[in-house]
Structure 1
């Protein structure tokens, strides 16, 4: 005889009593948001009172805590955890310390990998194939993500498929899933109308349920049968075993915010008058990084210094022309910072975290800006383990390896650094105690050589200078006004970067007024880079400092040049300054096609110059492929000399023809 569906609402203590020793437990949460605090607290309370359950395995993606003992930080008690598989350890420092001291086994894997492994578990698959983590500390040739000597089992393998290297991550079956929602009916159907993010709750619940495990959902209220609309239910009751109603303080949106309906997508709020950032080192870094924003592109911003880009973009009215995202699942709007990091005000939509990583891993990101703790002369970056601290990689590896362009951002030194902006110049009042640019990073979270191998554009932005990853290593390309190379840069690095002709960082960055960034990103002032000398019939194009990011940029440049040539009324001789010019790797052929078109229709001859040897080489190769004589010189004088020689040769030829006639 069929039975009626049971009421699944029970107390936290009753739910936690279902967990057995040696169980594999997964929990949701992102940084300080969407954390099932009541469940963590109840698990801690049971263990402190009874000494059980022992030797649990904890699986989680992003850090879920306040770094001071809340969230997963409650699970630090000796004997409670035997193993941790996590992307972030920094928000549970006592657990991280236990791992550092070989008291528990641990793996630090990329956040997106763990997120996607939930789906593999749910589908009964043995694991996940991914290129994420190749040539980093996650690669088994460099440690396999193990965090200590006690951890011996390999859960990451290098495999070859059709001649290409991949990593295979072994799935760990889940016994218990802690998830969180807003409302539940008595049968366990869960909605998330007041949550800032949906994260992986559906995949986690399915992974535990399909393994014969249990799913415990924390909510803030119970609603009657039939109240929840089908499309509002994010986790169906067939996956949920227990529903726990949390006290309001245990169900905060995040540790700093009880509830913000704008972050939950329940209302839209004006953002034009959001607080303006003070002009300090953080804003200088964010402003310089903002010049790399791709119009109409999709962007991810990391925690820390990169968060400021969202505020700068809003201040400069650029936000409508880019789409900011977070790995937690927010798409569009103004990204939140602080305790609300990961969410967004006025987001276009919120998708599940594992789906966002699908998008990232597949190449959907046009640009990312991420923090950096250490950087070395090969361009390697460490954010995961440094200074004796196990922090973890979070989503850093997924994002940095797969974005079309990468900006690493952070102060040049750390620990007591004090800088000021005075009269448009950077003044270093006190240097930081610790260096970031060192001989070799302690742990490789991002591989510079692997990025070079794939021709991935990478720059490193600090408050006083900018570096670029080149085929020969790290090159110093920009210096802040007021900064001395030897005193303020080289004296505080463990290696000497490549130094050719670094230019001054844009002076607008250091003035406490709008930068008119929108005009730069939309090429509104591109025509001002073109001038025409009628007496010599010479067209000058100054692309110094211009960044060509997309085919739309090339189309804008072509139109400006065609307009100038048609105004001249005849074919012109063209000289182009490419010093400081940046061209995205995928656009060299499109750029060469534009030059070919102009030669065929508007130019009598053309020449260009650039001090960047790599740019000259790539441009010469692209032009040769199209059958166009390259004429790319290192010095301005050589380019002009070529035009003079060409003009003299043409005049001589004409005189000869006239004499012969």
Structure 2
């Protein structure tokens, strides 16, 4: 065929010139065009060319041991790297730290979206992602070393709003990957776990006059790929290379092929192994209590991954939609070498579109890991302990989710704990503190979160912190933990400590927690009791958690039903001990009280032992012109009603 684009690996790699800008596909250990990386490495080692390349990639694409982009570590091969993650290519990261190459660590979603900007001929991308982090040019501009001096991120104030402008880098060569190709270069991805940014990368190179090299598993007959199954059309592809052997076209480094990850089959998942009751499960369990029913959630690597197992164990999985930044939506999120994919996914979309969804506020909640945290609530996951790891999608996700849970052990490096009789015992403290006066690098800005009133909590195996307007507050402590000896002594700063509550005892017992009923408010009617002799409605909100406005609406519905059943106005006593109301919902809650006072209550009294809860309640009620009768003890609330009701 005159239009035959099938070629050898050597012929395709020979088209790359010195100083070219090369972008490559792949996410962590999945969907990596390994043969193309191998061919590029082989040519450079044998000939010394192409040299001084710029490498652009969104996420890490390697096994951290030398495969994937880790193959490109040879001195002289790379001159500059623009990446979301350096941890998957440690020798390249080392070269950057030693000032041997230029380097930028940009948010994964920004790089992903910049491919589209390049493809459409735009100069770059305006985004709020990265404000007040190390990416912000006022705090470093994403440069990873001293020899990197050119600014590719600019700060702008437009009509009173802060923006970052990311300058697009034109692309000369795109490495992409698919499953099948016809001789014209049409690419399908039926056996791939993810589709990532292959289309946008190919278009960015093609429209810049560059070349697109596609690695595939097989060649199929011309015209045999259904038009709607073509992920990258042949007009964008210059060379098609068939992987020389299956090992160079694995689904990921740990899995040769799994049809459940590619969506070709659906498999039973009910038999997921139960997590052992250790520090990781305690953290995951506590974080799971923040899950928004019917919400969309992203989970990070490490401790947050355990939430998926906990949700499955507690039969809550059908009531949330888990997603990955790589583009998987729904199903059971994969871990290990398959991280980024999902078993039985509902859909798999392009990575740049997933980040459009995330950046626009589509995530109801995210749970992410934390390497370091400081007095301002800043979190660092990108550069710590002498290691250049990179931010990945962390900045996009944490900055734009409606609520954020950071999860991880309180210390690390040899930490050993025991969970006995519903209590936590520290057997051996970790060598490294995580809660510091200042983090080494700001990957999440506490200041920016406070400015936008974003709900943020920090969950560990022994305590929970909340980022409030006044700073970091210790709000929960595990049973068996001494605040002074086990918490404050191992922090560089002292948090606000007023009246922290005990963490829920269910977290520390090796039995089901009843998470489903808790999160869906299935027992709401049991919280309301009416005493006809005294005409008092008793409302027990102990342990109740209002995460979204829907929770407040459900409470209102329950109270209205109870009052209408009585058929006349009632006095109410409300127990707020242990109740948690998201800071953004206090006004909605006060509006609900106002509604009940107008239509159903003759008077109401509330009590809570938490000084913080009383303060927030009084502020919200006063704002609406209501008498803030919020007492510290139940007896005081009852005494008030006796006086008022006569």
TM category, shorter: over 0.9
In the alignment, does 2:548 pair up with 1:550? yes
* Whole-Å separation in 2 of the counterparts to 1:519 and 1:55: 59
In the alignment, does 2:422 pair up with 1:406? no
Other-structure match for 2:120:
123
- Name the CA shift for 1:171/1:612 in 2 (closer, same or farther; >3 Å): farther
**Helix, strand or coil for the counterpart of 2:241?**
strand
Other-structure match for 2:305:
307
2:40 to 27, 38, 43: 43
Quote the offset at 1:530 in angstroms.
2.6
> Deviations along 1:375-408, whole A, 9 cap, x unmatched?
0111110000001100000000000010000000
2:379–2:445 contact (8 Å) kept in structure 1: yes
In terms of mean alpha carbon deviation, does 375-384 or 564-573 score higher? Answer: 564-573
> Deviations along 1:606-627, whole A, 9 cap, x unmatched?
1223455665555445434544
> Deviations along 1:103-154, whole A, 9 cap, x unmatched?
1110001000000000000000000000000000000000000001100000
In the alignment, does 2:103 pair up with 1:106? yes
* Whole-Å separation in 2 of the counterparts to 1:182 and 1:554: 49
* Whole-Å separation in 2 of the counterparts to 1:432 and 1:265: 41
- Name the CA shift for 1:150/1:599 in 2 (closer, same or farther; >3 Å): same
What pairs up with 1:278-357 in 2 under 5 angstroms?
Answer: 278-357=276-355
1:459–1:469 contact (8 Å) kept in structure 2: yes
* Whole-Å separation in 1 of the counterparts to 2:155 and 2:609: 41
> Deviations along 1:538-579, whole A, 9 cap, x unmatched?
323232332212232122212222233344453222222334
1:464–1:479 contact (8 Å) kept in structure 2: yes
2:96–2:145 contact (8 Å) kept in structure 1: yes
1:5–1:187 contact (8 Å) kept in structure 2: no
* Whole-Å separation in 2 of the counterparts to 1:277 and 1:244: 43
Quote the offset at 1:464 in angstroms.
1.1
In the alignment, does 2:43 pair up with 1:24? no
In terms of mean alpha carbon deviation, does 576-585 or 508-517 score higher? Answer: 576-585
* Whole-Å separation in 1 of the counterparts to 2:632 and 2:96: 54
Other-structure match for 2:457:
459
Other-structure match for 1:243:
240
- Name the CA shift for 1:635/1:144 in 2 (closer, same or farther; >3 Å): farther
* Whole-Å separation in 1 of the counterparts to 2:143 and 2:434: 24
* Whole-Å separation in 2 of the counterparts to 1:239 and 1:212: 11
1:431 to 413, 429, 448: 429
2:498–2:611 contact (8 Å) kept in structure 1: no
> Deviations along 1:186-239, whole A, 9 cap, x unmatched?
111000000000010000000000000000111101000111000000000000
**Helix, strand or coil for the counterpart of 2:375?**
coil
Quote the offset at 1:498 in angstroms.
1.1
2:77 to 62, 77, 80: 80
Quote the offset at 1:273 in angstroms.
1.2
Uncovered stretches (5+) of structure 2, i.e. residues with no partner:
none
2:152–2:167 contact (8 Å) kept in structure 1: yes
Quote the offset at 1:310 in angstroms.
0.9
- Name the CA shift for 1:400/1:478 in 2 (closer, same or farther; >3 Å): same
Other-structure match for 1:655:
none
* Number of equivalent positions: 645
**Helix, strand or coil for the counterpart of 1:52?**
coil
Other-structure match for 2:187:
190
1:256–1:340 contact (8 Å) kept in structure 2: yes
> Deviations along 1:303-331, whole A, 9 cap, x unmatched?
11111111111111111111100100000
**Helix, strand or coil for the counterpart of 1:10?**
coil
* Whole-Å separation in 2 of the counterparts to 1:121 and 1:171: 6
2:262 to 261, 264, 269: 264
In terms of mean alpha carbon deviation, does 341-350 or 575-584 score higher? Answer: 575-584
* Whole-Å separation in 2 of the counterparts to 1:635 and 1:455: 30
* Whole-Å separation in 1 of the counterparts to 2:352 and 2:329: 14
Uncovered stretches (5+) of structure 1, i.e. residues with no partner:
652-661
* Whole-Å separation in 2 of the counterparts to 1:257 and 1:134: 38
In the alignment, does 2:139 pair up with 1:142? yes
Other-structure match for 1:366:
364
- Measured on the aligned residues, the alpha-carbon RMSD in Å equals 1.6
2:214–2:237 contact (8 Å) kept in structure 1: yes
Quote the offset at 1:504 in angstroms.
1.5
* Whole-Å separation in 2 of the counterparts to 1:490 and 1:27: 46
- Name the CA shift for 1:505/1:615 in 2 (closer, same or farther; >3 Å): closer
In terms of mean alpha carbon deviation, does 496-505 or 204-213 score higher? Answer: 496-505
* Whole-Å separation in 2 of the counterparts to 1:636 and 1:108: 54
What pairs up with 1:501-512 in 2 under 5 angstroms?
Answer: 501-512=499-510
1:286–1:309 contact (8 Å) kept in structure 2: yes
Other-structure match for 1:658:
none
Q: TM-score, normalized by length of structure 1?
A: 0.95
> Deviations along 1:483-524, whole A, 9 cap, x unmatched?
221221112111111111111111111122221211111101
1:175 to 154, 163, 172: 172
Other-structure match for 1:529:
527
